[in-house]
Amino acid sequence: MYTEELMAAVRDVKDFPEPGIVFKDITPILKDPVLFRRAIEMMSSAADVMKADVILGIDSRGFLFGAAMAHSIGTGMILARKAGKLPGEVVKESFGLEYGSDTLEMQADSIEPGQRVLIVDDVLATGGTAKATANLVEKLGGEVAGFAFFGKIDFLEGHKVLDTDNIFSLLHF
């Protein structure tokens, strides 16, 4: 029931951020407290199943879902941010996007060795951002418990680059 309501609330924005891209705009869900709460409840169930010790939100919309999930299940949250946004010692990982390239960073002391990390973001497209984040987790001695996405663009097959079956997606586009 809620999945259909969530799907109906996602807005397609053509040619954003570049011509040929259809951007999945999730802001209508964020402003609707009932839909946002339901999305967080459903995504948080994945964290329980994957036995995550901590939630990792990917810059920037992964922060929105990740923080709410961490609060919901009673864990902490760590960040994977775009380059130059974090203080202190960081580790970096560059990666390709469906429309360019980017670099993510994490604070070098953000993960304890062996800690099970659930990586959270809004949408899984080609998988480059999620894979780069997983690489950062492993560089820091953590274990990727899995991934949780609000939505997944199925035809782009981003799940194939993630090296795990522990992938939860609430919606499929």
Quick one: pLDDT at residue 17? 87
> Is position 37 annotated as part of the catalytic site?
no
Per-residue pLDDT of the chain (173 residues; tens, 9 = 90+): 689 999 999 999 999 988 998 999 999 999 999 999 999 999 999 888 999 999 999 999 999 999 999 999 999 999 999 999 999 999 999 987 766 789 999 999 999 999 999 999 999 999 999 999 999 999 999 999 999 999 999 999 999 999 899 999 999 99
The tally of domains found in the chain comes to 1
> Is position 98 annotated as part of the catalytic site?
yes
- The range of the structural domain enclosing residue 55 comes to 2-172
Residue with tokens 């924005």: 13
Whether the model clears a pTM of 0.75, i.e. scores above it, the answer is: yes
What CATH number corresponds to the domain at position 106?
A: 3.40.50.2020
Q: Which of 5, 98, 138, 143 is catalytic?
A: 98
Quick one: pLDDT at residue 99? 65
Q: Which of 4, 5, 61, 105 is catalytic?
A: 61
Token pair of 29 as six digits = 């869900």
Residues 76 and 55 sit within 8 Å (Cβ to Cβ): yes
Quick one: pLDDT at residue 98? 63
